[in-house]
């Protein structure tokens, strides 16, 4: 079973601060997804990264896939209270149709 470790587990910051959360594994993934989950709702897909070293931007969110495709990071610039939620990464190591999810980082952005 491939494991995805996310860090930190919890993060509480003030509005306007920058932050980075991490998703690490010893396994190589063919693709990796980031999701955000708000209380009482299901996870919502934010982005997919496929190529080693790939960087994708989604407004104030920057996602990077490691060169070896074993790890990824999510950087948020000037965090806002609306960014509050559980951030989950998920990796697919084959084209078998199944992904492994990390335990997530719970982010709280205080106004």
Partner 1 sequence: DAGVIQSPRHEVTEMGQEVTLRCKPISGHDYLFWYRQTMMRGLELLIYFNNNVPIDDSGMPEDRFSAKMPNASFSTLKIQPSEPRDSAVYFCASSVSGNEQFFGPGTRLTVL
Positions touching partner 1 (CB under 8 A) are 30-31, 33, 35, 40-45, 48, 88, 90, 92, 95-99, 101-104
**Taking the complex as a whole, how short is the minimal distance between the CB of residue 109 and partner 1, in angstroms?**
21
Distance, CA of 109 to CA of 14 (rounded, Å):
5
Q: Residue 51 or 80: which CB sits closer to partner 1?
A: 51
DSSP structure class, residue 54 = -
**Taking the complex as a whole, how short is the minimal distance between the CB of residue 52 and partner 1, in angstroms?**
16
Q: Residue 73 or 103: which CB sits closer to partner 1?
A: 103
**Taking the complex as a whole, how short is the minimal distance between the CB of residue 40 and partner 1, in angstroms?**
8
| Secondary structure of 25-39 in HEC code, one letter for each residue | CCCCCCEEEEEEECC
Q: Are 30 and 97 in contact (CB under 8 A)?
A: no
**Taking the complex as a whole, how short is the minimal distance between the CB of residue 81 and partner 1, in angstroms?**
22
- First and final CA of the chain: distance in angstroms? 40
């Amino acid at each position: 079973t491939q494991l995805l470790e996310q860090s930190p587990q919890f993060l509480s910051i003030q509005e306007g601060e920058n932050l980075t959360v991490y998703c690490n594994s010893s396994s190589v993934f063919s693709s990796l997804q980031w999701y955000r989950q708000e209380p009482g709702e299901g996870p919502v897909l934010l982005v997919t990264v496929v190529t080693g070293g790939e960087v994708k931007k989604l407004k104030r969110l920057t996602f990077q896939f490691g060169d070896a495709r074993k790890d990824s990071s999510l950087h948020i610039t000037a965090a806002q209270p609306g960014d509050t939620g559980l951030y989950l990464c998920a990796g697919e190591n084959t084209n078998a149709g199944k992904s492994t999810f990390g335990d997530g980082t719970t982010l709280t952005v205080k106004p």
